[in-house]
Each structure stands twice: as C-alpha cells, then as structure tokens.
Amino acid sequence: MIATLVIAAFMILAMAGAIYAALVPHTLHCIIGLGLTLFGVAGIYLYLGSPFVAAMQILIYIGGISVAMVFALMLSVSLAKKMKHSEIKVILSSIAAILFLAVMARLIMTTEFPLREEPAGAAAWGVEQIGHGFLTTYSPLFIGLAICLSVAIIAAVLVARREADKS
C-alpha cells in the first residue's frame, strides 16, 4: 500500500515535472522541471527493481546532463532570459500532442500484453548480472557506447573550441 502510494507520488512528480517543463516560459524553470521529472523517473526505476539504473539516472541525468544544461545557459547570457513565447504555437502543439496521447492511451488500454506470471527474482536484477551482460553478450553494445561517448565528447570540444579560435 505504502509502496503504491510512493510510486504514485513519483509518477505524479515525473508527469508534473514533464508538463511543467513543457509549458513554463522561462528556460531555467524548464530545466528545473526536467530535473524533477528525472528524479521521478529514477523513483520509478527503483520501484521496477533496478536500483543501479536509478542510481545511474540520478548520477548521469540529474548530476551531469541537467547541470551541463544550466552551465550552457549561464555561458550564453541571453538564453537565460525569458524568450518570446507564442501562445498559439503552444496551443496548437498541445492539441497535436493530446491527440497523440489520446490515440496512444487508447492503444495501451486496449492491448493485451503477454505478462509474465510473476516478476523475476531479485537475484536476476543485480548489478552483477548487468555487468556480466555488458561484458559478455552485449559487449559490442558496451564498446560501441563507449566509443560513441568519447567521440561525442571530443567532437563537442572540437566544435566549440574551433569556433572559439575564430572569434
């Protein structure tokens, strides 16, 4: 019961943060909303039996990505200030999104998912299994991800710096 309440709270937190982030005019508030959502999502992961992924979520997303965004915001002064906010665009895109949401919700509600009899045991969720999977079956994925990350970071640095040299 308590678990249900807690997870419901996390869900509401995630959804509220998302909607706040989508609609609030100010950019910084938007990032704050994103942070709230990420936090809620981390709780959901926790509930879904994956503390490691939840930890990663908090570490990388909240600790890394959100902070990087805020830094970027601070580096470019005008980004921080409130931008022109077109009401009509928000309304139109909201209509489109709600349409999408309604259709998808109907699909979700009407679909019969092949559920497992009972959730897997805690042993199957451990960090070891993840590490094992990454290093054996999914090692190409792991390596690819690593390369991708390093390339992305190097490229990001190069792009930003080359332009800096010019200016």
Partner 1 sequence: MNPAILAIVVIFTPLVAFATAMLFCMKAHRIAQGLILGGGAVSVVGAFLLLLGGPSETQSIVWLSSGSLELSFGFMFDGLSLSFGAVVALITFLVQVYSIGYMHHDPAKTRYFALLGLFGWAMLGFVYAVDLLQALIFWELVGLASFFLIGFWYEKPSASAAARKAFLLTRIGDTGLLIGILLIINISGMAHIPALLDAETGLTTMVSEGTLTLLVLLIFMGIMGKSAQFPLHTWLPDAMEGPTPVSALLHSATMVAAGVFLFARLHPLFMASETAILVVLCIAIFTALMSATIAMVETDLKKVLAYSSIGQLAFMLAALAAGGLLAGILHLILHAVFKALLFLCAGSYIHHFETNDMREIGRRGGRRMRWTTAGLVIGGASLAGLPPLAGFFSKEEVLASLSHGGYHLIWFLALFAAFLTAYYTFRMVFFIILPDRPLEADATVHDSSPVILGPIIFLTIATVLGGLILGPLAAILLLDVPHHSLLSMLPAILCALAGVFVAWWDFGRSRATRRGFVGAVPVLHRLFSRKWYVDDVYQAVFARFIQLMATVLHRVEVDLLDGGADRLADVTRWTGGWTARLQSGWVQAYIASGVVVVALAGYFLGSR
Partner 2 sequence: MSLSAFLLVSLVLFSAGLVAIMSRRNLVTILVGIELMLNAASINFMAFNYYTAVDPVVGQIIVLVIIGLAAAEVAIFLSILMVLYRARHDVDVEEIREIRG
**Chain positions contacting partner 1, by CB under 8 A:** 89, 92-93, 96-97, 99-100, 102-104, 106-107, 110
69 binds partner 2 (CB under 8 A): yes
Write out the two tokens for 92: 């139109």
Which two three-digit tokens encode residue 91?
């309304």
Q: How far is the CB of 108 from partner 2 (least distance, A)?
A: 5
Q: Which of 1, 21, 140, 165 binds partner 2 (CB under 8 A)?
A: 21
> At closest approach, how far in Å is the CB of 73 from partner 2?
6
Q: Which does 6 bind (CB under 5 to 8 A by kind): partner 1, partner 2, none?
A: none
Residue 36 contacts residue 10 (beta carbons within 8 Å)? no
The Cα–Cα gap between 9 and 7 comes to 5
Among residues 31, 74, 143, 165, which is the contact residue for partner 2, using CB under 8 A?
Answer: 31
Q: Rounded to the nearest whole angstrom, what is the least distance from the CB of residue 88 to partner 1 in the complex?
A: 12
Work out the end-to-end distance of the chain between its first and last CA atoms, rounded to an integer number of angstroms: 60
**For residues 2 and 108, which CB has a smaller minimum distance to partner 1 in the complex?**
108
Cα–Cα nearest to 125, from 49, 35, 72: 49
Element containing residue 22 per DSSP (H, E): helix 2-23
Nearer to partner 1, 82 or 100 (CB): 100
Tell me: does residue 1 bind partner 2 (CB under 8 A): no
Tokens representing 76?
Answer: 């470019």
55 binds partner 2 (CB under 8 A): no
Residues in Cβ contact with 54 at an 8 Å cutoff, skipping those fewer than 6 apart: 42, 43, 45, 46
Residues belonging to the chain: 167
With binding defined as CB under 8 A, does residue 2 bind partner 2?
no
Task: Report what 51 binds from partner 2, partner 1, none; CB cut-off 5-8 Å by kind.
Answer: none
Nearer to partner 1 by Cβ, of 67 and 79: the residue is 79
Instruction: Tell me the C-alpha distance between 11 and 54, whole Å.
Output: 14
